[in-house]
Amino acid sequence: MRISNLLVSCIENLSNELLYEIFDYLDGNDIFEIFSNLNYRFQYLITCSSIPFKIKFRSHTTSQLIDCCKTVIVPNRHHILSLNFEGGSLIDNFFKHCIIDSSFTRLQSVVLSNVSINRVVSLLFYLRSLPHLFSLNMSIREEEYFDLSDIYRIIFTLPSLKYNKLSLCLEYDEEDTNISIPLALNEQFSTIEYMVINHTCTPDKLMSILCHTPQLHHLICETLEEIEPASTNEQSITLSNLVYIRINNCQIDFDRFEMFMKKVSSQLQVLRVKQKYDKAYLDADRWKRLIENYIPNLQEFIYEYPGYEYNDYETTSLDTNFNQFISPFWMNKGWIFELEINNKEISFSIHPHKKIWFDVDGNTENVPIRKNIDNALAPFIPTSQLVISGCSSTEQNQTFIDDFKALFVAIQFTHLNINCEKVPIEMLIRIIQLLPNLDSLKVSCMPIMQSAWLFSIDRDLFFQTSINNKIKKVHLEKIIEIEQLNFLLFLCNYMQYFQVDCGKDMDLEPIVRHILMKTRIYIPHLTCLHLNVQSGNEEMVYNLQRLIENEKLLNKYTIKRISDNIILRWN
């Protein structure tokens, strides 16, 4: 009893402002159930203050829903900020006992999940009376052909709507849906700024929608496909605010895609497209012309071609297409080409430079810019990246090399990211040998190395690769033992920057001692060691500094900690 009283007393001591913040994380139904009968103060806060309520209906029984409508919704309709319905039956029951009208003066967001197509139009008529409805998210279920035209037409009349997402939960082919919304004379345009079309749409149907949304900023389309001949009617459209387009599944040919982009993309800043059906999309020069002439403000471009069997394409033409993406145009934009191989499946993408290296001057690189500093530490934007996730088995190692040798030789990869969990060490050496343009290397899941590892591999191959490669930056993700360091130190003679990820309880002193002692003979170009340490602290820095001084491992150096990163630099 004393414990219970103590807890109540602690809650009572909280200020109204803090209680409002707590209420903001709770569902409105729960607030009323927990606090309304607690005492007079809480009852007053809930019923007489201006606190906004967010109501979510999940699995309410009919009696619970009726009680909620009578005791929570109707008396407090002017306080309700959002309504979320998870299920069509809940929606039907709710509107039998409560009508949404203009008295819901603060209602800004409505979510209608799994609602029947037969109910959508009537529900939208109720929502038209809401003065401040900014967000509408609907998922519709149906089992036969239907027309979305009326639904979109009513959505466009919602007076204050800024965000709209429409999804379809269908048990049949979406080809049976129809969207045709011709512009009427003197028709009022929609206020929507952010639209998610979470269903299949043709370019003509999409244009029919966009003609009504001149204020649109962001557009996300789940699937864009051509299931009917293109319309000969050239619609005039102005989308001067549209800065973002994402198409998650683009199934139209590149000619049709170009036609669409030329109409809508003059102010576009971000374009994301995932596509795997038309090889014309691999024409880098065609992309360049489209971007330069029709998307001049584009800042972020992400194009993804998901995995397929490499043997499905002619090796020579594919290699030529890939190399087109390695040119000054793409480099100046900071957009790089990436190819990923997992067994026999390959996928590729164009994307902005991702975070690869830690800026030793204090920041994590995002889109690095070359600086006039020591070449070893100069931020580096790779023109092309190769990611290897694994091969099927050790018995297929040579087959893997044979399959992709032409690809490795033809494309000028400058960065290699390889997972050695399923890639043997000798294969890593062979792959590096085939990539003469490599400037940087990241190795993850490196196996435990036996002390006599050099005698278990092709030594001629190893020494030839170590002499010929020009890798300057190396990242070992999670060191387990010293021999892993030896392998990379011997393999990359031109290394200038070495990043090693260490476990939380790992002793850093043997690692630093070993690397610095090897530097004098085997890696004379190394001038920066970056240790990424879980829970790094200043004591670690002090101990390393004392080690270097006591054993005279370096003469002139600097060492500092930035969060969990310890940076050691020397001349």
pLDDT digits (tens, 9 = 90+) for 123-165: 898 899 999 999 999 998 876 667 788 899 999 999 999 999 9
- Amino acid residing at 68: C
Buried residues in 424-449 as b, exposed as e (16+ CB within 10 A): ebebbbbbbbbbeebbbbbbeebeeb
Three-state SS string over 295-350 comes to: CCCCCEEEEEEEEEEHHHCCHHHHHHHHHCCCCHHHHHHCEEEEEEEECCEEEEEE
pLDDT at 441 over 90: yes
Provide the CA 292 distance to its chain's centre, in angstroms.
26
Asked if the structure places residue 551 within a domain, the reply is yes
Please report the pLDDT score of residue 158 as a whole number: 94
Domains contained in the chain, number:
1
Asked if the structure places residue 283 within a domain, the reply is no
Confidence of residue 399 (pLDDT cuts 50, 70, 90): confident
Of 364-368, 524-528, 537-541, least confident by mean pLDDT is: 364-368
Please report the pLDDT score of residue 186 as a whole number: 53
Q: How far is CA 508 from CA 221, 525, 530, 558, in A?
A: 50, 22, 11, 17
Whether the full predicted model's pTM is greater than 0.85, yes or no, is no
Confidence of residue 174 (pLDDT cuts 50, 70, 90): low
Gap between the Cα atoms of 148 and 214, Å rounded: 20
Per-residue model confidence as pLDDT tens digits over 25-52: 888 888 887 777 777 777 777 776 778 8
Asked if the structure places residue 564 within a domain, the reply is yes
Tokens of 430: 């062979």
Pick the more confident residue, 485 or 383: 485
Backbone phi, psi, residue 531, to 5° = -105, 120
Average pLDDT for 506-532: 91
Half-sphere exposure of 3 (CA within 13 A, CB side): 0
Gap between the Cα atoms of 461 and 559, Å rounded: 37
Range of the domain at 550: 416-570
Please report the pLDDT score of residue 141 as a whole number: 81
Percent of the chain with pLDDT over 90: 42
* Strand partners for 194: 163, 218
Asked if the structure places residue 467 within a domain, the reply is yes
Please report the pLDDT score of residue 219 as a whole number: 97
Asked if the structure places residue 486 within a domain, the reply is yes
Please report the pLDDT score of residue 350 as a whole number: 92
* Strand partners for 486: none
Asked if the structure places residue 120 within a domain, the reply is no
Asked if the structure places residue 483 within a domain, the reply is yes
pLDDT at 471 over 90: yes
Per-residue model confidence as pLDDT tens digits over 369-378: 333 334 444 4
Asked if the structure places residue 38 within a domain, the reply is no
Pick the more confident residue, 65 or 155: 155
Gap between the Cα atoms of 151 and 197, Å rounded: 13
Residues in the chain: 571
Per-residue model confidence as pLDDT tens digits over 420-436: 887 888 889 999 999 99
